[in-house]
């Protein structure tokens, strides 16, 4: 099907009234900028239609009806007034009816002919039903006081910059959708993809929902991943009902090769003694859902060698101190705190580097225990009683410092069914690195990790403690009874010891 217009903009005229009488209204500026940017991307003049009358009538006249039905795409600019406008609701309905008769709203695998632009903050439950399940383009942000601030030049140069950045995202998505529609009617795309990954290199990334202050960064990452040919999930807004939310997130994570979580250091709670505003309540909800996605990624990733995750905190947060949740995550091996460009480089590396080949460890049928230790401890007779007892009951794997590399060490941590870290000659920094490496391998194991512990052999280090790992006090000499809890964790195989 061919179309007379590329885009129809559905809006309410009150949203085109400028706060500055000497400047164009928001809708007029939006229309002009979108038309220019889309023409640049398409390589030809784009055709965007909107009702330019100062005020709309209560009935759809023939010109508007024709423009609706002859438009390839609809951009619906949501605002509080839009929801109250019977005119706008009827435009939505008419376009959807025409789309159903012409092949439907969906285009290709993950595109749609309807684009939702959110000019002014609206809770998701207030969005019209026909667009509720579409990802929106939010032309606003929530400030530190919990108030929404629109991307408009009247609020300063930074808000104007964000307006054009968001509009660029929208223009790219519209361009890609029009390219698909062109191909469907036998017209070859006019432009070659600027970025592209061959089909075999296409990956699925779960880019977790995040708080309003990081939405711009999230959109930049999403845009670059999609331009590189990858698929970014979720493709629709996540459900609000907890059960459906968890199911949707887990299904998406199951498909993903990588999950990326952008963490905000800003508190979600209002200042002490103040009642939360509606926007602050929204931020609290989003923050809780952000944290739920971190936990679900950890759960869904265990036991998968083809999955990893990244937890990112912006480096410059001024005087804001991260809350307890973010502080606790800083010990996670997947946690990084760097600038956005460095994060994008890390994502690229994760998606393109070949997986570390699994080691082919010969097995004698017994449980394999990796006895991880510093090279100096291998030469120290103090470790011998522990090694000899373990070797009588289990297959003990030792680090190979002659051919050892970081990847080989991590592979040993990943392949063995239990890990016992011998803490003797090594420093506290060495132990921290080994524990972090162990945590990292929890997401790609070919078989479950049955037991993990730190055997403290040096009396000077007996104060070591970690709530996530068993501490075995071996600094007064080895006794088999010291290993009872560790061995019990091995299940039936450990019961033979």
Considering the domain boundaries, does residue 182 fall inside one? yes
Provide mean pLDDT across the span 472-481: 94
Q: Which of 169, 188, 207 is the last residue of a domain?
A: 188
Residue 317 has pLDDT above 70, yes or no: no
Closest to 377 in 3D by CA, of 421, 410, 434? 421
How are strands ordered across the β-sheet holding 114-118?
Answer: 48-49, 5-10, 71-78, 114-118, 136-138
Closest to 90 in 3D by CA, of 125, 126, 64? 64
Could you tell me if 313 and 413 lie in one domain?
A: no
- pLDDT computed for residue 292 by the predictor: 93
Provide mean pLDDT across the span 452-475: 92
Chain position carrying tokens 């373990």: 390
Considering the domain boundaries, does residue 497 fall inside one? no
Reduced to 3 states, what is the DSSP secondary structure of residue 212? helix
Reduced to 3 states, what is the DSSP secondary structure of residue 113? coil
For residues 385 and 478, give the distance between their C-alpha atoms in angstroms, rounded to a whole number: 7
Q: Which of 155, 188, 221 is the last residue of a domain?
A: 188
Could you tell me if 206 and 344 lie in one domain?
A: yes
Could you tell me if 164 and 226 lie in one domain?
A: no
Query: Quick check: 13 and 58 in contact, CB under 8 A?
Result: no
Could you tell me if 118 and 5 lie in one domain?
A: yes
Least confident of 43-57, 204-218, 463-477: 43-57
pLDDT, tens digit (0-9, with 9 covering 90-100), for 106-165: 876 667 899 999 999 888 788 888 887 777 888 998 776 778 889 999 999 999 999 998
Could you tell me if 168 and 292 lie in one domain?
A: no
Least confident of 189-198, 203-212, 438-447: 189-198
Could you tell me if 406 and 289 lie in one domain?
A: no
Cβ-based neighbours of 176, under 8 Å, separated by 6 or more: 111
Could you tell me if 182 and 215 lie in one domain?
A: no
Considering the domain boundaries, does residue 277 fall inside one? yes
Residue 492 has pLDDT above 80, yes or no: no
Least confident of 30-34, 315-319, 379-383: 315-319
Residue 198 has pLDDT above 50, yes or no: no
Could you tell me if 9 and 143 lie in one domain?
A: yes
- pLDDT computed for residue 65 by the predictor: 79
Considering the domain boundaries, does residue 78 fall inside one? yes
- pLDDT computed for residue 464 by the predictor: 92
Residue 265 has pLDDT above 90, yes or no: no
Residue 21 has pLDDT above 80, yes or no: yes
- pLDDT computed for residue 318 by the predictor: 60
CATH number of the domain at 316, please: 3.40.50.10140
- pLDDT computed for residue 199 by the predictor: 43
CATH number of the domain at 423, please: 3.40.50
Provide mean pLDDT across the span 414-439: 88
Could you tell me if 184 and 214 lie in one domain?
A: no
**Angle at 256 (CA atoms; ends 250, 259), nearest 5 degrees:** 85
Considering the domain boundaries, does residue 429 fall inside one? yes
Torsion over CA of 151, 45, 130 and 229, rounded to 10 degrees?
A: -80
Considering the domain boundaries, does residue 24 fall inside one? yes
For residues 354 and 431, give the distance between their C-alpha atoms in angstroms, rounded to a whole number: 27
Residue 310 has pLDDT above 80, yes or no: yes
Residue 191 has pLDDT above 50, yes or no: no
Least confident of 284-288, 318-322, 333-337, 362-366: 318-322
- pLDDT computed for residue 80 by the predictor: 94
Could you tell me if 136 and 9 lie in one domain?
A: yes
- pLDDT computed for residue 69 by the predictor: 86
Q: How many domains does the chain have?
A: 3
Q: Rank 400-409, 439-448, 459-468 by mean pLDDT and report only the highest.
A: 459-468
Residue 207 has pLDDT above 80, yes or no: yes
Provide mean pLDDT across the span 398-420: 75
Provide mean pLDDT across the span 393-419: 78
- pLDDT computed for residue 452 by the predictor: 93
Residue 271 has pLDDT above 70, yes or no: no
Residue 197 has pLDDT above 60, yes or no: no
DSSP designation for 273: T
Closest to 445 in 3D by CA, of 421, 411, 395, 469? 411
Confidence at 306, pLDDT banded by 50, 70, 90 = confident
- Residue 234, preceding bond cis, omega within 30 degrees? yes
For residues 287 and 264, give the distance between their C-alpha atoms in angstroms, rounded to a whole number: 8
- pLDDT computed for residue 205 by the predictor: 94
The more confidently predicted of residues 381 and 437 is 381
Could you tell me if 109 and 144 lie in one domain?
A: yes
For residues 439 and 433, give the distance between their C-alpha atoms in angstroms, rounded to a whole number: 10
For residues 276 and 269, give the distance between their C-alpha atoms in angstroms, rounded to a whole number: 7
Considering the domain boundaries, does residue 35 fall inside one? yes
DSSP designation for 358: P
Provide mean pLDDT across the span 200-216: 84
Range of the domain at 459: 368-490
Could you tell me if 2 and 130 lie in one domain?
A: yes
Provide mean pLDDT across the span 417-445: 83
Residue 327 has pLDDT above 90, yes or no: no
Considering the domain boundaries, does residue 175 fall inside one? yes
Q: Which of 140, 166, 188 is the last residue of a domain?
A: 188
């Amino acid at each position: 099907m061919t179309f007379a217009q590329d885009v129809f903009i559905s809006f309410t005229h009150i949203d085109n009234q400028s706060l500055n009488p000497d400047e164009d209204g928001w809708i007029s500026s939006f229309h002009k900028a979108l038309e220019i940017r889309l023409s640049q991307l398409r390589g030809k003049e784009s055709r965007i239609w909107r009702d330019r009358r100062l005020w709309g009538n209560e009935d759809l006249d023939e010109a508007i009806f024709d423009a609706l039905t002859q438009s390839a795409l609809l951009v619906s600019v949501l605002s509080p007034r839009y929801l109250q406008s019977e005119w706008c609701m009827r435009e939505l309905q008419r376009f959807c009816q025409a789309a159903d008769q012409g092949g439907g709203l969906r285009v290709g695998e993950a595109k749609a002919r309807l684009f939702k632009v959110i000019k002014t903050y609206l809770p998701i439950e207030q969005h019209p039903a026909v667009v509720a399940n579409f990802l929106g383009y939010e032309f606003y942000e929530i400030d530190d006081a919990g108030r929404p601030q629109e991307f408009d030049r009247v609020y300063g140069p930074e808000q104007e910059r964000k307006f054009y950045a968001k509009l660029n995202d929208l223009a790219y998505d519209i361009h890609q959708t029009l390219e698909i529609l062109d191909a469907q009617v036998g017209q070859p795309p006019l432009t070659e993809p600027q970025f592209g990954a061959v089909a075999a290199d296409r990956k699925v990334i779960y880019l977790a929902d995040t708080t309003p202050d990081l939405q711009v960064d999230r959109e930049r990452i999403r845009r670059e991943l999609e331009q590189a040919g990858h698929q970014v999930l979720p493709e629709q807004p996540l459900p609000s009902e907890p059960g459906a939310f968890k199911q949707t997130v887990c299904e998406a994570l199951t498909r993903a090769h990588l999950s990326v979580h952008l963490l905000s250091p800003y508190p979600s709670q209002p200042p002490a003694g103040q009642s939360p505003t509606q926007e602050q309540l929204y931020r609290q909800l989003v923050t809780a859902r952000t944290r739920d996605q971190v936990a679900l990624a950890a759960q869904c990733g265990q036991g998968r060698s083809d999955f990893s995750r990244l937890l990112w905190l912006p480096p410059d947060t001024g005087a804001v101190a991260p809350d307890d949740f973010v502080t606790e995550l800083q010990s996670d091996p997947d946690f990084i705190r760097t600038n956005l460009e460095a994060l994008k480089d890390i994502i690229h590396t994760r998606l393109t580097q070949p997986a570390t080949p699994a080691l082919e460890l010969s097995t004698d049928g017994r449980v394999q225990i990796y006895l991880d230790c510093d090279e100096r401890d291998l030469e120290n007779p103090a470790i011998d009683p522990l090694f000899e007892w373990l070797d009588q009951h289990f297959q003990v794997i030792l680090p190979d410092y002659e051919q050892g590399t970081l990847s080989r060490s991590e592979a040993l941590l990943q392949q063995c069914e239990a890990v016992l870290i011998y803490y003797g000659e090594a420093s506290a920094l060495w132990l921290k690195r080994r524990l972090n490496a162990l945590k990292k391998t929890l997401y790609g194991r070919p078989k479950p990790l049955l037991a993990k512990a730190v055997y403290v052999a040096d009396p000077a280090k007996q104060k070591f403690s970690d709530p996530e790992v068993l501490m075995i006090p071996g600094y007064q000499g080895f006794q088999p009874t010291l290993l009872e809890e560790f061995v019990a964790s091995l299940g039936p195989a450990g019961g033979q010891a």
